[in-house]
Amino acid sequence: MRLPWFRREMSAGRFALVMNLPTLLCLGLVLAYPVGYALYLSVHRVGLAQLRRGEFAFTGWENYGRVLEDPLFWVAIKNTLIFTVITVGSEIVLAVAIALLINQAGIWTSRVTRFLILLPYAIPPICNGLIWSFLYSFQFGFLNRILFSLGLISDPVNWAGNPDTALYAVTVPYIWRTLPFAIILVHAALQGIPRELYEQAAIDGANAWHRFTKITWPMLQQIIAIILILRTAFAFAVFEEILAITQGGPGDATWVAAWYSYKITFAPPNNFGMGSASAFILTLMVAAIALVYMRLIYRRVTL
């Protein structure tokens, strides 16, 4: 006699789907309508006049073409790529170094250190940007004051107001805020490496560098790949530090992709259709980079 469907044992995949169904429904309700409406706006001519009348003229791919033909968009993409390479690369190097240092400390020391490291991650991004804007201040910034007292500079440096240094100046606050996320992940991965491997390597006469390159680094590659994917996606969407410190200036020196979408949408003449199109283009770029990471990096370290 065949059991009814509700009394049969579920497969692992079906059970996982049932358990995650409430979350998927909530995400669908929260995200589906805004994303769908933004896609609708991206193929229509939408400005303040159209919003007042409620009449949106269909334009097809015109908004996407205007974004791709805008030189300022490609300046923003170039700045975003520079910002992403600097921040993500620095985070990975610093996260591995700091996590290794914490891992060598005692239990009590490591707990205190982990608590202190998490503090920057708890600061809201806009507050973090405001704090660093005061540090970078040309007239009364603490950074210039410290460097001057150490004899490293003779005149104040306009860190956030100089086109040659503004973009690099913005990377420091962002790295300071997001680095704890990478440190905690790397430290957790270090905790999972069996101590017996290091003990056996020490018996065989391996020095610290050989233990790192032959044991630690290979065991960390999977978590490093995950950090690389996540941090790249978030770096492409950086906005708060730009808003608080430079507001895209001086000139277009710190115009990044998210700032471009914001200005196109909310600055006069308020082109909501073109802003939505630029946001979707940015999303496709991030998705393409994530796919490249998955094929070239994450897939390789999981084989």
CATH number of the domain to which 194 belongs: 1.10.3720.10
Confidence of residue 270 (pLDDT cuts 50, 70, 90): confident
Instruction: Give me the mean pLDDT over the 234-254 stretch.
Output: 92
Structure tokens at 133: 């804007």
For residue 121, give its domain range.
65-302
Tell me what percent of the residues of the chain surpass a pLDDT of 90.
43
Query: What total number of domains does the chain contain?
Result: 1
pLDDT value at 80 more than 90: yes
Residue 4 in domain:
no
Residue 44 in domain:
no
Neighbours of 256 (CB within 10 A): 29
3-class secondary structure, 269: coil
Looking at per-residue confidence, does 223 or 48 come out higher?
A: 223
Instruction: Give me the mean pLDDT over the 69-91 stretch.
Output: 95
Residue 116 in domain:
yes
pLDDT value at 130 more than 70: yes
Confidence of residue 155 (pLDDT cuts 50, 70, 90): confident
**What is the residue-averaged pLDDT of the chain?**
87
Cis bond before residue 269 (omega within 30° of 0) = yes
Residue 49 in domain:
no
Q: Give the pLDDT confidence score for residue 33 in this predicted structure.
A: 83
